[in-house]
Chain A
Amino acid sequence: MRLDIVLRVLAKLLIPFALMFASYVQFHGDFGPGGGFQAGVIIAAAVIFYAVIYGLPSARKVVPDGVIEAMIALGVLIYAGVGVVGMLLGGNFLDYFVLAHDTVHGQHRGIFWVEVGVAVTVSAVMLKIFYVFAARRRDAEEESS
């Protein structure tokens, strides 16, 4: 498949659009259908597409395992961090009302950052699952050889 020029060129053309679409789903999620989970899955899908066409090793070069693991943890920290910021500003845990002077604005800000956290963790978890499954046969072959 590596020599198939059509697939390689198409993938290169499509992946930026997939990532763009992910960011649309992410940031427009405040006003319409979408949000961090969906955007995270689309980001992961773009990388998986890359891995399918260009092979797992090159995908692992673009998004290394260490980065994925850090992202899984980071997303949770961002989410919970928003909650803690709410507490430090005098509200309750995950209190978005106190995040800005205007309560509606505060809700927007809270949701925005929480969804960023969700997107980071979800995309990383999806990729981690893909890497683990995709690497299974490879690792087994390396062990036997």
Chain B
Amino acid sequence: MIMLAIGVALVLYCALSLRWDWVPHYWNDGLIQRGIWTTVWILAVTWGVGLVMAVGLGFAQAAGPWWLSYPAFGFCSVIRGTPLLLQLWMLYYGLGSLFPHYPWIRQSAAWTYLREAWPYAVVSLTMSFAGYEGEVLRGAFLGVPKGQLESARAFGMSRWTLFHRIWLPQALYRALPTLGGETVLQLKATPLIATITVVDIYQVSSRVRQDTYLTYEPLLMLAVTYMAITGLIVLAFRWAERRIPSKVA
């Protein structure tokens, strides 16, 4: 009750006493929509590709031979042990500065993309998500009861059938609550890409701040936008969790 009252009072204060007349201008520009769209598609792409990589990394660590599990463990450790900002800058400033030295890269078709900033952002965020989720899925793969795998083998399932019918689904079920939290963390990592000039919603708000000299309003808009996307992610995962037969545990 009190929380609600404080919340309503805060919203009223923000709506009435702060300046919001710049919003229609940037909205009609399409800049705000473009920023939100960039944030959302980068989140979606890095989430999808990162998760697929994470399945490989997790499975390699949980059940792979040493020549797969050691590199996978090393990759996850380096990703989890160093700041994402450093990884991002290393790709963009480091690798990005090496490419122009090779004429065959500059003449290749990939150069049109390598000149842009967003491929570095996508690769970096994908690797980061893969590293963290690889660790989560390693635990999830190991947590699937042995009896399940043994009975699948007793049924005469081939190794691939066992993996995609029994092992993977049960590991994903177990990892789902963690994955929801990690997805929110991934969303919260996306504004870092603004530091390498990708125009996401965070970059848009910086631009508004430079144009209008306003301190609070663009940052508030930003906070509300991220909280709204967070809310959507939480709802989506709640929906996904409810679809899983809960007797598994």
Do A and B associate with each other? no
